[in-house]
Chain A
Amino acid sequence: ETGVTQSPTHLIKTRGQQVTLRCSSQSGHNTVSWYQQALGQGPQFIFQYYREEENGRGNFPPRFSGLQFPNYSSELNVNALELDDSALYLCASSLPLGEQFFGPGTRLTVL
Chain B
Amino acid sequence: DAKTTQPNSMESNEEEPVHLPCNHSTISGTDYIHWYRQLPSQGPEYVIHGLTSNVNNRMASLAIAEDRKSSTLILHRATLRDAAVYYCILRVEKLTFGTGTRLTIIP
Contact = CB atoms under 8 A, between A and B. Distances in A.
Interface string B78-103: 00000001010000111111111000
Contact of A56 (B41, B85, B94): B94
Interface residues of B, number: 19
Contacts, number: 52
A45 B87 CA distance: 14
Interface in A1-60: 4, 33, 35, 40-45, 48, 55-56, 58
A72 interface: no
B45 interface: yes
Interface in A41-90: 41-45, 48, 55-56, 58, 90
The majority secondary structure among interface residues of chain B is loop
Contacts of B100: 42
Q: Which bucket holds chain A's interface residue count?
A: 20 to 34
A24 B97 CA distance: 23
Interface string B8-52: 000000000000000000000000000010000111111001000
B99 A96 contact: no
B92 A97 contact: yes
A105 B93 contact: no
B95 A100 contact: yes
B97 A58 contact: no
A102 B47 CA distance: 12
Contact of A92 (B41, B43, B87): B43
Given A56-B94, A92-B95, A103-B43, 11 more contacts: A33-B94, A41-B99, A42-B99, A43-B44, A45-B96, A58-B94, A97-B92, A98-B92, A99-B49, A102-B42, A105-B43
15 contacts: A33-B95, A40-B99, A42-B97, A42-B99, A42-B100, A44-B97, A45-B96, A48-B94, A90-B44, A96-B93, A99-B49, A100-B46, A101-B46, A102-B44, A104-B42
Interface of B: 36, 41-46, 49, 85, 87, 92-100
Which 8 pairs between the two chains have the least Cβ-Cβ distance?
A: A102-B43, A42-B97, A99-B46, A43-B97, A102-B44, A90-B43, A45-B94, A97-B92
